[in-house]
Structure 1
Amino acid sequence: MSERRIQELERQLQQAKAREEEAKAREEEAKAREEEAKAREENERREKEEAKAREEDERRKNQKTTVTEYLHNCHFHLYQNLKLADASKSSTGLATSVDGRFYPRWLRPWKANTERQHHQQFEEIRSIHGEERLFHEQSTTKNIGTSFIRKKAGNEKAVEYFEKSAVEEPTWNILEPIWKRKQLCQRYQCADLRFTDNVRDFRDESDDAQARRTDITPAITPPKLKPDGGGIRKGLDGKESVAFVYDYKAAHKFSVKHLEAALAKETLFVDVHEWVLCEQYARDPELRKQEQEEARIAMALIQVFNYMLSYAVDYGFVTAGKSLVQLTYDRAEPLVLRWRLCIPNNVEAQGTTEAQISQLYQTAVAQLASFCLLSLRSTTLTGRSLEEALHHANIHLRLWKVTRYKDPATPPESDGKASPSAWPSRGTDKTYLSDGSPSTNKYPLRSRSRASCKDATMPSQTRDDDEGGDGDKRGRAESHQRRTRVGSSTNKRGQGSNKRKDSGSKNPASAFTRQYCTQACLLGLKHGYQLDRKCPNVLSHDVEGNGRHPLDAMKFTQLMAKQLREDVYEVSLALDGWGKCGISGVLFKLEMASLGYTFVGKGTTSMNPSHLTHEGKIYRKLSNLQGYIIPVHLGMVSLDPGYLLPGGARVAHMMLLSWAGHVASSKRKSEANRSIQTIYENGVVHQDQCAANLLWNAERRCVMVIDFHLASLIPEPKDDSRIRLKRKGNALQSDHGKRSLPRGFLQSVR
C-alpha cells in the first residue's frame, strides 16, 4: 500500500474520529440541556410543592379545626406553655382554714372512674363532633398560648387565669355544640353547661360585717365560704343548678410528687387532723416536708369537700395547673371521699396516627370535658332533699379541730358504705364526741412525733395570707351553730314533715303546678272585695260558695306564716334556678294548698330584715298603686329555721307579694317610664330601674315595678299638688275590678 493511500486512510480515520467526537459532544450537550431542563423542572416542581405546603400550612393555621386537632393544639400550644415560678420564691404555710368544717374519715381511689372509661368518654366526644371543623384556628390557639410563656405562675390567681383560658374555655368550646342537638340534650338531660366564678351562696355580707363589728376577738379574715368556681347546668326545663364545684391551688402547694404520696393514704385526713391538734407545726420546725405538703393537700380537699356538701353535688375537683384531682362523694358511703388524679403532662406524642390521637384523652381539656359529662349523671339536691343530705352529713362526719373519729384503724373498703336506713342517729353513734374536746379521746400518734398533744388547748395553725385567713373562735362557734341548726331543723318539723312524706320524694317543681292568682284576686283579698272570677284558682277560693274570700288579709298572712313554719318546703318553691334571685335573697313560689292562693315570697337570707321592712314602708306609701303599677303587698313573715339554699344560707324572712310578671321587652320603654313616673308622682323615687325590676303584666296591660330596697320617700310638699295626685291614685283603688289602668290616669302622667 502506497504511502499516499496510508495518509488518505489516516485522514479519513481522523475525520471519522472527529465526527464521532463531535457527535458525542453534541450528545453530551443535548444531555446537559436535558438535565438542565429536568433540574429546572424539578426546581419548579419543588417550588410549587413548597408554595403549596406553605399555602396548606397557612390554611391549616387559619382554618377551623376538628375536635382532635383542637385538643392537640390546646395541649401543645396552651397547656405545655405553662411555666411555674420557683417554689422558693412563693409563700409557704398551710392552706386556707378549715376549722369547724366537716372532714371525711377515709380517702380512697375512685375505682368506678377508670382510664378506660375516660377513654370511652373521649371516643364518644370524638364521634359526636366527627370531622366537623368547629373550633379555633391553630393560629388563634397559639396566640393565646404566648401569654403563658411571658409570666410564670406562682400563686392561685395565676393558676386561675391559666385554667380559665387554657382549660375551661376550650372545654366549653368542645361541649357547646352538643347543646345545639336536641337528641344529645335529651341524652344528657341538659340544655347547657357553663363555668362560672360566681357560684351563689346567698350569704348577706352585711350580716358578716355586723358580726365582725360586734365580735370582741381581733379582726381576722374569715375562711372562704364559697368555691372558686362551679359548673352550672341548665336543665331541659330551663332551671339552672350547680353540677360540680372546684378550687384553684398554686402548683407549688399541690405538686404532683407530693400529691401521689398523699392520695395513697386512706387515713390522710385523720392523720393531719391529729398533727394539727398537737401543734406539731408550731413546735416542731423539723417536721418533715412531706407531712407539711400532706397537710396542705388534705385541707385543700376538705375545703372542696365542704363545698360539695353545702351545694349538695356529687362531684368536685382541685386543679393546680399541672395536676387535676377529681373528687366524688356518694352519700351511700358517708365517711368516704374518692379521688382520681389526672396528670396531663403524660401526653407526649405530637403525631397524627390513630395511636397518637388516642392519647389525647389524657390532655387537660379532654379530662375536664369527660368529667363535665360525667357530672350530668347526678341530680343536684334542693329544698327538703338538701336539708336531709346535710342532716345525714351532720350525723356521720366530724368537724375539723372540734371532733375526732374514734377508731383510727383502717377497715375494709366495704365498711365505708352504709344504706340510708342504716344511718345512726346522734344518740346511737358511739364515735360521736358531743363535747368536741380533743382531750376526751386520745389518738395514738406515730412514733416519729416529737411532742404529745395538749389536752386542754385547741391550737391555731399558720396560714397563707393570700389564700384566706385563720378561722377564729367565732368561726368555730358558727360551725357549731350550723351543725345544731341543720340537725334541729330536720327534727323541728317532725310530724309535719312525716305527714307529707310522699310529696317530699317527688320532683319539687312538679308539685307547684297552679297558676298565679291575679292582681285583682289578691287585691280583693286585701281589701275585702268580691272574688275575681278570672283568677285561675277561683274555684279553690270560693269554699263557702258566696263569691267572697274565705279570710281577710291578716288571717291570710297568719295562716301562711303558720304553714311556712310547719314545713317551709311543702308550701314554697325557690325560683333561684330560673334566675329569680338577688344578692342576698331569692324569690319563691308559694301555694296555700287548702285554699288555692298562689303568689310569691321575696325571701332574704339576712338575719336583719331591714331591707324588707324598708320595702314594706314603700309599699304602704304606694298602697293606692298596689295591684296596678306595683304588686299587691300581703305582709311579711319570719321563718325558723328557714329555707336552706344551695351554699348553706337560709332564708330567714319573707315578704308576701302578688306575681307581677316577666321582664318587659325593651320595646315597652315608654310604658316603663310611665310607671316609674307614676310612682314618683306618688312620693317615691325608685332608684333602681334596671330591666329585672320592670315586669310586663298581661292582666293590667302595663309595666309593673318591683324591688324597692333602694327606693326613697320624697319629702311631703307644702302645697296642695300632692292632694291632687292622691285623688288620682284613689281612682285606681276604687277601680279594683278592672284589668287595666283607668284611661284618664294614664293620660295624666304622660
Structure 2
Amino acid sequence: MNNLYKPPHKLSVENLRAGLRDMNFWKEIYHVMIQEGLEYSYLTNGLALVLLRVPYDEPGTLYYHLCEPDMEIDPNDDWSFERPLTVIARVLCLCLMSFGAPVRDQAWRNQASKKLPVWKTSFDHNRSQIPEIELQQNPPSSEYSPSESSGRTASEYLPSSSLIESPTQRRRIPTRSRAQCTPNTMERKDSPDPDMEPGPGGRKRGFSQVTSSPSSPSVQRSARQTEGQQNERGRYQHNAQFCTQQCLLGLQRGGTLDDYCPKAELHRQGGSSKQHLIDAKGLVRQIKQQLDENLNRNCTPMGGCGTSGAPFKITCTAYGYTVVGKGTTSCRWNEVKREADIYRILWRAQGLAVPVFLGTIDLAMIYFLEGAGRIRHMLLMVWGGEPINKLEDFESIRHEILRSQKKIRSLGVLHKDLRLDNML
C-alpha cells in the first residue's frame, strides 16, 4: 500500500472535496499504484483521507472514498468512537485489506502502463498556475455529506489537454466514488506475458533501499525443473543456489563443469558430460529470451542496491545456471554499461580479483522495482559473495584484498572506489 501526503496549506479540505469532482489530484499517486502493482492506497492532508483502489481487471478505473473523521465523529455521542471512523481505524482497515491483496506481477504492470494515457503535469505544477487569491477562497458547494448518507455515485474524468493521446484512441478515464471500502472478492485472472524514467511532474526516483526477502538454499532438483515453489501465502519463492565462480569461469572459457557447483547436475541435463552444454553467449541469449517472455519467475530482486543499480537473482530455466543481474534504468545505462568494458579489460582477473562477467541484456519489458524505478537493462555476472564489512575478522583477508588490488592495477585499471561495501 502507498500513501501520498499533501499539507493542508497546499491542499485544503474544502479544495479536496471540490477537487474530487474534477479528479485533478490523483495522477501522481495513481501512477505509483500502477507502477508498483498496488491495489490500495490513500491520499491525505492530515485532516481528511481519500481511500483509493484500482481493480485488478480494470486498471483504468480508480475507486475513491473521501473520509473526514472530524465531520463523521460526534464527540457528544459515546458510541461514535466505537465505530471505525477515526483516522487510525480507516488506515488500519486499508492496511488489513492490503495484506490480502497480492502485489500485481510485472506482466500486469507492463500491460497497464502500455494501455493507460500519460500526463506530463504534477500536482505542484497545476497548483502553481492558480492565482493565490483563488487558493484562499472556499470552493462553492463544498458542504460535506457523511459517507453513510452519500450513497453510491459514479463520475467520469476527461483528462486535460496535457494528456498525450494516441491518434487512434480518445476515451474517458473512469473514476468512481464508493460509499465504503470492501475487500476485493474478484478472482484474479492470469494475464498473458506480453526506464529509471522521470516520475510524475518530472521527478526522478533514485536507487535506495530496495527491500527483498533473502534467498535461502534449496535441494537440487532434476534436470529442466525450475527451482522455485509457492509458500503458504501462494507467493513464488526463488530458492535456487548460485553457481560457483569456477563453474561460470569454465562456461565462459570453454572449460569443464565444476563438480562443486550446486547446480552441476542441472547443467549436465541428466547426462554424464564433463563439459558445459552451452557457452556464455548462449546463456545470455537464453536468459534474455526467458525474461522477455516472463519477468515474474526466476528473476528476483536481492535488496541492498547501490547508487546505480539493483541486484537480481536470475536462474536460467533450461540449464539451471543461477547468476546475478545488475539491473538499471535507461537514464543510467550509459554509466553502468561502461562497467562491461572494464570487465572485458579485466578478463584475466575474472574469477580471481573480480567476478566472472557474462554479458549484457536489454529487457523487452520493464521491471518495475520499488525505490529504483523502471529497470530496462542488466549486466550478468557471477555471484561474488557477501560484503566483507560483515566479517568480524577483517585482518584475516587483508592479504587477499591487497593481492586483488595489485592484480587489477597490473591490467591498467585504477579502482577509485575501494570501500568495504564494494568488496566481497
Give your verdict on TM over 0.5.
Answer: yes
Partner-residue secondary structure (3-state), 2:260 = coil
| Matching residue within 92, 95, 100 for 1:372 | 95
Partner-residue secondary structure (3-state), 1:303 = helix
Q: Which residue of 1 aligns with 2:253?
A: 527
Structural mapping, 1:393-408, within 5 Å: 393=116, 400-401=160-161, 402=163, 403=165, 405=171
Give distance in 2, aligned partners of 1:405 and 1:672.
63
Partner-residue secondary structure (3-state), 1:516 = coil
Correspondence 1:545 to 2:272: yes
**Residue identity opposite 2:37 in structure 1:** A
| Matching residue within 678, 681, 694 for 2:403 | 678
- 1:302 is displaced (CA, Å) by 2.9
Structural mapping, 1:45-84, within 5 Å: none
Q: Which residue of 1 aligns with 2:317?
A: 593
- Contact 1:572 1:588 (8 Å CA) reproduced: no
- 1:548 is displaced (CA, Å) by 0.9
- 1:323 is displaced (CA, Å) by 1.9
| Matching residue within 40, 47, 55 for 1:330 | 55
Give distance in 2, aligned partners of 1:590 and 1:407.
37
Q: Which residue of 2 aligns with 1:569?
A: 295
- Contact 2:309 2:328 (8 Å CA) reproduced: yes
Aligned residues: 335
Q: Which residue of 2 aligns with 1:239?
A: none
- 1:658 is displaced (CA, Å) by 0.8
Shift of the 642–332 alpha-carbon distance from structure 1 to 2, 3 Å rule, reads: closer
- Contact 1:641 1:650 (8 Å CA) reproduced: no
Shift of the 605–675 alpha-carbon distance from structure 1 to 2, 3 Å rule, reads: farther
Shift of the 671–560 alpha-carbon distance from structure 1 to 2, 3 Å rule, reads: farther
Q: Which residue of 2 aligns with 1:340?
A: 66
Give distance in 2, aligned partners of 1:613 and 1:593.
25
RMSD (Å), alpha carbons: 4.4
Give distance in 2, aligned partners of 1:470 and 1:564.
27
Shift of the 667–559 alpha-carbon distance from structure 1 to 2, 3 Å rule, reads: same
Q: Which residue of 2 aligns with 1:255?
A: 12
**Residue identity opposite 1:250 in structure 2:** P
Q: Which residue of 2 aligns with 1:729?
A: none
- Contact 1:521 1:531 (8 Å CA) reproduced: yes
Give distance in 2, aligned partners of 1:397 and 1:656.
44
Task: Extract unaligned runs of 5+ from structure 2.
Answer: 119-155, 180-184, 192-197, 203-227
Correspondence 1:312 to 2:37: yes
Shift of the 584–525 alpha-carbon distance from structure 1 to 2, 3 Å rule, reads: same
C-alpha distance after superposition, 1:216-271 (max 9, x if no partner): xxxxxxxxxxxxxxxxxxxxxxxxxxxx22222231443334444554xxxx24xx
Partner-residue secondary structure (3-state), 1:652 = strand
Shift of the 559–302 alpha-carbon distance from structure 1 to 2, 3 Å rule, reads: closer
Shift of the 261–357 alpha-carbon distance from structure 1 to 2, 3 Å rule, reads: closer
C-alpha distance after superposition, 1:370-419 (max 9, x if no partner): 433332221112323432444565699976533554699x9x99xxx999
- 1:521 is displaced (CA, Å) by 0.7
Q: Which residue of 2 aligns with 1:128?
A: none
- 1:320 is displaced (CA, Å) by 1.4
Partner-residue secondary structure (3-state), 1:299 = coil
Give distance in 2, aligned partners of 1:679 and 1:527.
21
| Matching residue within 236, 240, 244 for 1:518 | 244
Instruction: Determine which structure has more spread, i.e. the larger CA radius of gyration.
Output: 1
TM-score by length of 2: 0.64
| Matching residue within 329, 335, 340 for 1:616 | 340
- Contact 1:521 1:535 (8 Å CA) reproduced: yes
Give distance in 1, aligned partners of 2:337 and 2:157.
39
- 1:593 is displaced (CA, Å) by 1.8
**Residue identity opposite 2:395 in structure 1:** S
Give distance in 1, aligned partners of 2:90 and 2:66.
11
**Residue identity opposite 1:693 in structure 2:** N
- 1:520 is displaced (CA, Å) by 1.3
Task: Extract unaligned runs of 5+ from structure 1.
Answer: 1-243, 270-297, 424-467, 476-502, 695-703, 705-750
Shift of the 642–356 alpha-carbon distance from structure 1 to 2, 3 Å rule, reads: closer
- Contact 1:384 1:504 (8 Å CA) reproduced: no
- 1:307 is displaced (CA, Å) by 1.8
Give distance in 2, aligned partners of 1:587 and 1:518.
17
Give distance in 2, aligned partners of 1:508 and 1:392.
26
Shift of the 314–667 alpha-carbon distance from structure 1 to 2, 3 Å rule, reads: same
Q: Which residue of 1 aligns with 2:105?
A: 382
Q: Which residue of 2 aligns with 1:656?
A: 380
Q: Which residue of 2 aligns with 1:560?
A: 287
- Contact 1:585 1:602 (8 Å CA) reproduced: yes
Give distance in 1, aligned partners of 2:36 and 2:159.
18
Give distance in 2, aligned partners of 1:387 and 1:397.
23
Give distance in 2, aligned partners of 1:470 and 1:367.
27
Correspondence 1:669 to 2:394: yes
Q: Which residue of 2 aligns with 1:237?
A: none
Give distance in 2, aligned partners of 1:626 and 1:603.
20
**Residue identity opposite 1:640 in structure 2:** A
- Contact 1:382 1:645 (8 Å CA) reproduced: no
Give distance in 2, aligned partners of 1:560 and 1:470.
32
- 1:316 is displaced (CA, Å) by 1.7
Q: Which residue of 2 aligns with 1:106?
A: none
Correspondence 1:628 to 2:352: yes
Correspondence 1:693 to 2:416: no
- Contact 1:317 1:324 (8 Å CA) reproduced: yes
**Residue identity opposite 1:551 in structure 2:** I
Shift of the 381–582 alpha-carbon distance from structure 1 to 2, 3 Å rule, reads: farther
Shift of the 656–259 alpha-carbon distance from structure 1 to 2, 3 Å rule, reads: closer
Partner-residue secondary structure (3-state), 1:667 = coil
Q: Which residue of 2 aligns with 1:300?
A: 25
Structural mapping, 1:76-475, within 5 Å: 244-263=1-20, 268-269=21-22, 298-333=23-58, 334-344=60-70, 349=75, 355=78, 358=81, 362-391=85-114, 393=116, 400-401=160-161, 402=163, 403=165, 405=171
- 1:602 is displaced (CA, Å) by 0.9
Q: How many percent of aligned residue pairs carry the same amino acid?
A: 27
Give distance in 2, aligned partners of 1:376 and 1:308.
15
Shift of the 356–588 alpha-carbon distance from structure 1 to 2, 3 Å rule, reads: same
Partner-residue secondary structure (3-state), 1:609 = helix
Give distance in 1, aligned partners of 2:397 and 2:95.
41
Shift of the 318–556 alpha-carbon distance from structure 1 to 2, 3 Å rule, reads: closer
Bigger fraction of residues in helix: 1
- 1:545 is displaced (CA, Å) by 2.8
TM-score by length of 1: 0.39
- Contact 1:383 1:645 (8 Å CA) reproduced: no
- 1:524 is displaced (CA, Å) by 1.3
Q: Which residue of 1 aligns with 2:129?
A: none
Q: Which residue of 1 aligns with 2:152?
A: none
**Residue identity opposite 1:670 in structure 2:** E
Q: Which residue of 2 aligns with 1:99?
A: none
- Contact 2:250 2:257 (8 Å CA) reproduced: yes
- Contact 1:584 1:606 (8 Å CA) reproduced: no
- 1:324 is displaced (CA, Å) by 2.0
Shift of the 639–553 alpha-carbon distance from structure 1 to 2, 3 Å rule, reads: same
Shift of the 642–344 alpha-carbon distance from structure 1 to 2, 3 Å rule, reads: same
